[in-house]
Amino acid sequence: MDFRQRLQKAASRGARSRAEREFEEAAEAISEEECRRLHSRLRLALTEHIEKCLAQLADNFPGFKPETIVDERGWGAAVSRDDVSMSGGRRNNLFSRLQVVVGPYNEYKVLDVSAKGAVHNKETFVRNHHQPLADVDEDHFRELIEMWILDYAEMYAAR
C-alpha cells in the first residue's frame, strides 16, 4: 500500500469519526430536550401537590397564610404565620414558616426538592432530596413531600 492510499484511508477514517461525533451530539441534544420536558412535567405535578398539601396544613392550623413561590431558587409554595406572646410584660413576635420548592432545571439533570421551615423564630427544619431525572420516581417524591409537611406539623404542634 503506497502513501497515497494510506492518506485516503486516514482521511476517510477522520470523516467517519466526525460524522459519528456529530450524530452523538445530535442524539445528546435530543435527550437534553427530553430531560427539560420531563423536569418541567415533574415540576408542575409536584408543585401542585405541594400547594395542595400546604393548603391542608393551613386549614388544620388556622393563622397560616399560604403563598406561591416562583423565583430563581425554584417553584413551590409556603405557609407562614406571625404569633404574639406576652411574657414578663414584654411582647414577643413569633414567626413560623414552611417553604417547599422544586429546584429549576440544571446542568446535572437532577430533580431537586427542598424544604425549609422555622417554628417560633427558630429555623429548625431543613430537608433536601434529589435524584437523576432518568431515575425519578414521582410517587416517591410525593411521599417525601407529604412526610416533610407532616414532620413540620408535628414540630409546630409540639411548641
| Higher pLDDT pick, 77 / 83 | 77
Q: Are 133 and 38 in contact (CB under 8 A)?
A: yes
Average pLDDT, the chain: 91
For the chain, how many structural domains are there in total?
1
Q: Which three cell numbers stand for residue 25?
A: 451530539
Find the domain containing 122 and state its range. Answer: 3-158
Q: Is the pLDDT score of 86 beyond 90?
A: no
Give the residue-averaged pLDDT of 3-29: 78
> What CATH number should be reported for the domain holding residue 123?
3.90.1150
What band does 26 get if pLDDT is binned at 50, 70 and 90?
low
Q: Are 141 and 113 in contact (CB under 8 A)?
A: yes
pLDDT at 23: 67
pLDDT in tens, 44-77: 999 999 999 999 999 999 999 999 999 998 999 9
Q: What is the pTM of this model?
A: 0.79
Report percent pLDDT > 70 for the chain. 96
Residue 95, SS3 per DSSP:
strand
